[in-house]
Structure 1
């Protein structure tokens, strides 16, 4: 990745103008920059002296029931940024955005926000100039040009990722990928270590300060006054709220965990929930880190390690780069490309509501070890990694026919790194297959065998992952076959589902399994 004239490894593409979204200009010099609470890094400003507008709106927390730690994280990050900027920041703590904006008399500029609703808010305000989006590796103009490429039949993440690697010269040897292969995922699907221990040391953790104490007191006061309610446990804060903390976590990951990241990134362990994951998604999604910088630092560590004769495993480095500039960027761009109505897609006609025990993160109500443990981690931390999200939480909702839009809201509100743009394509498309195959070629449904292979949850669980009928029938195994039976007509045209659907006809006990799962419904498994 070539270094720019200022010594940086290339300017973030998000700084470019965006004709796909109305030709937003690239700079509005001299204006006060309105920064949303997910635009807190210096790359959202045009210079070290630019004045800033920050707004803390209590109405956001009155409208939605967020995880307590997510509310704490966002408010703490916003207040820390205001404290860092000092006199450069005009900081309003108000009921609504409108209350603050009505007080501002000078022209404002803002980098395009991350959701349809927030962009609508900006466009309704006179005197606010909307610039191109920042905080992503590829610009929306770049994505639009790629999507319109000649002969492109589907917008596959793998194709986008390879194009982005070429454009930004990341992990490339000339025109070819480092190591001769673009994708090393096959090396990153190992089950958990046999000894049940993490392959990496404990992550670095931030320390709370007086601003965190103020945030905690305010949240307690809002709850007591009936102005807000939250789900999940309170603190301690686990994720960065300043750029300094975010860079510390990034360096800690690159120094102590990156090499171990790849092989077990899909594994799950009940007593080692962090494994070798970077824990950087909250900081990235708050805008504290510039993803092009994150990718550049990871690549530089790899190239330095090669030069030193002790190379980091390429599968780990490539797997991490894929997450940051591949999947994260792809999900952002697909959110806009697919349009406002995408979140209402419901190809599989899933109509069930989110059950109360799931909405309330009541892990004590659940007997299934995998689901109980994941819910407990989520209640305590506001975070679990991508496989518990997809193959435990998402898989359960898919099998039980929970409404995908409701699940999108649940993921948005419950995860500390959850935002509208993050969850719509991830949940509606990837997890719940509600788009009929736009993002994923088949539903991510599986029985208990996958969870048994990729975790230690099934040991000692009251349910048997090999059984689909009876008191000890695994809810995921039985739920898988009931799901296929319920959706067989809708999935009949999917060639990747042909063999699983044919398997239905070989199950003599299928009627009994379906009846059993209909009785279970969305009761705690």
Structure 2
């Protein structure tokens, strides 16, 4: 009896998906669906990465690959001519599609998702009847379950979380962190063909084309991981929240793309970091900080995407109704005066990527203060970021960044004035706006915007013990009415 082929999506490209003992020798179906590419205005470089990953995987699989280009996934599977098996996809929309294809006889079996450490059934058992969640609780459970950075049942070093040691501002007077640069791939003939095909398709995209900056194959991912652990992880922890105008990558790993394409398994990244620490090559705060990102936060976001359900993206607890402005949608960094915001948009425009602090404390902070519609913002992050797959953004944006879920995911909104950005970056040094000023032509839009936002949500913030002090501080501002009038009329950022 001939085995049913395995159909893999563009974020399931690793050997831990298609070349396990279960799938040894099995044919593998890879589909380029034109409808998927045209459905939204994705970043040009994101489309390149997904297509490059698909085509490199097909080339590596050789005779095992059934590589199809079709208008839709259904059309492609009809060409296969026999039912396929598939691993659970990573979004509600794709899961619904798979279920329809299963009912129509095109899918024979749906297998568990192999690209995360913790199965969804195990998370459901851990979560029980919880309605709100704390990442720290989940993270500690993950460390215990997978025996990561543990000694005799206790955390290595005596503490679970060393985040307090990983919040240092950038070194004064430096324009870069002065660490070895990130691993970068070498484009090949497949990348050249991808670029030519994308040009010919004339797809509606955002952002600029550019050299491929991220790993898209398992071999590239292992090389990128090894380079990061050996050259950059020792420097990662202390300044992981720092922002530098002239150093877009600082000491970050750039592994989110291969992780989210499924060519790097999260436990491989975690074990590599742990081994480097135990060998004495990486300080504990750096190793723990990276492990918390991968085994803690990434897995947490994945599980909560499914736990919160299909309607989660429509939540809007703060009643934010402002449409995304055109300059934001078009990534028009040159139209923005504030250096921090311009630099963040420039990073998205030119690379489809910024690290987590520009995402949360610049882009997300600005959107929160201005009341941008959370669902639109979540879609924008998914489309404009090269690592922004559908499961990634709703918990990160709706929950963490915009507090639109009313506290299901985070205990307080993440809003701040310009003082935080001035402390954690070099952006304010030559900016036209002064982070210390909330009133006047040179008033920082983040500082003034923070007080306007606090006033708008004063009742909610006063009722939260973590934010009540902000309301008390606002009530002592003698120029509050003038700040509110200024911000209601502000058009320039």
TM over 0.5: yes
Deviations 1:211-252 (A, max 9, x none): 1111111111111xxxx2111111111011211111110010
**Residues 134-143 or 415-424, more deviating:** 134-143
Which position in structure 2 is the counterpart of 1:14? none
Is 2:78 the partner of 1:99?
Answer: no
- Aligned partner of 1:181 among 148, 153, 159: 159
The answer to whether 1:66 aligns with 2:45 is no
Q: Does 1:259 align with 2:234?
A: yes
Matched, 1:328 2:303: no
Matched, 1:75 2:51: yes
1:488 is displaced (CA, Å) by 1.4
The 3 A distance-change label for structure 1 pair 412 and 153 is: closer
Q: CA RMSD in A?
A: 1.3
Give the secondary structure class of the aligned counterpart of 1:239.
coil
1:63-86 deviations in Å (ceiling 9; x for gaps):
100111001111111111111111
Structure 2 residue 117 is matched with structure 1 residue 137 = yes
- Deviations along 1:106-145, one digit per CA (max 9) or x if unpaired, are 2311110000000000000133211111211111111111
Q: CA deviation at 1:55?
A: 0.5
User: Is the contact between residue 218 and residue 264 of structure 2 (CA under 8 Å) also seen in structure 1?
Assistant: yes
Identify the residue that residue 212 of structure 2 maps to in structure 1. 237
Matches within 5 A, 1:266-285: 266-285=241-260
* 1:123 aligns to 2:99 (yes or no): yes
Separation of aligned partners in 2, 1:459 and 1:142: 49
Q: Does 1:111 align with 2:87?
A: yes
Equivalent residue in structure 1 for 2:275, among 276, 292, 300 = 300
CA distance in 2, matches of 1:177, 1:490: 37
Measured in 1, the distance between the counterparts of 2:492 and 2:229 equals 40
Is 1:286–2:268 an aligned residue pair? Answer: no
Superimposed CA distance per residue, residues 349-372 of structure 1 (whole angstroms, 9 cap, x where no aligned partner)? 001111110111111000001001
Say whether the 8 Å CA contact 1:357–1:524 is kept in structure 2: no
CA contact (8 A) 1:332 1:422 kept: yes
CA contact (8 A) 1:348 1:490 kept: no
Deviations 1:171-228 (A, max 9, x none): 10011011111000000000012232214211121011111111111111111xxxx2
Query: Any residues of structure 2 matched to 1:6-25 within 5 Å, and which?
Result: none
| Equivalent position to 1:201, from 174, 177, 180 | 180
3-state SS of 1:125 partner: helix
Residue 354 in 1 paired to residue 324 in 2?
yes
CA deviation profile, 1:50-99 (whole Å, cap 9, x unmatched): 21111101111211001110011111111111111111011111111111
CA contact (8 A) 2:462 2:469 kept: no
What secondary structure is seen at the aligned counterpart in 2 of 1:90? strand
Aligned to 1:423: 393
* Cα distance in 2, alignment partners of residues 202 and 213 from structure 1: 24
- Matched-pair contact (CA < 8 Å) for 1:193–1:199: no
| Distance (Å, rounded) in 2 between the aligned partners of 1:153 and 1:377 | 36
TM-score (norm 2): 0.96
Quick check: 2:316–2:374 contact (8 Å CA) kept in 1?
yes
The match for 1:501 is 471
Provide closer, same or farther for how the CA distance between residues 222 and 409 of structure 1 changes in structure 2, counting only shifts above 3 A. Answer: same
Residues 1:218 and 2:197 aligned together:
yes
Residues 131 and 408, structure 2, Cα contact 8 Å, conserved in 1: no
Cα displacement string for residues 255-294 of structure 1 (whole angstroms, at most 9, x for unaligned residues) = 1011111000000000011111000000000000011111
SS at match of 2:245: coil
* Aligned mates of 2:156, 2:126 — CA distance in 1: 22
Alpha-carbon distance, 1:155 to partner:
1.8
* In 1, Cα distance between equivalents of 2:23 and 2:32: 23
The answer to whether the 8 A contact 2:382-2:388 is kept is yes
CA distance in 2 between partners of 1:496 and 1:255 (Å): 39
Instruction: State the Cα distance separating 1:373 from its structure 2 match.
Output: 1.0
Compute the displacement of 1:160 (Å).
0.5
Aligned length: 484
1:168 aligns with 2:167: no
Deviates more, 1:509-518 or 1:191-200: 191-200
CA distance in 2, matches of 1:273, 1:59: 33
The corresponding residue for 2:347 is: 377
Query: Which aligned pairs between 1:409-448 and structure 2 lie closer than 5 A?
Result: 409-448=379-418
Q: Which residue in 1 is equivalent to 2:14?
A: 41
Structure 2 spans left out of the alignment, 5+ residues:
none
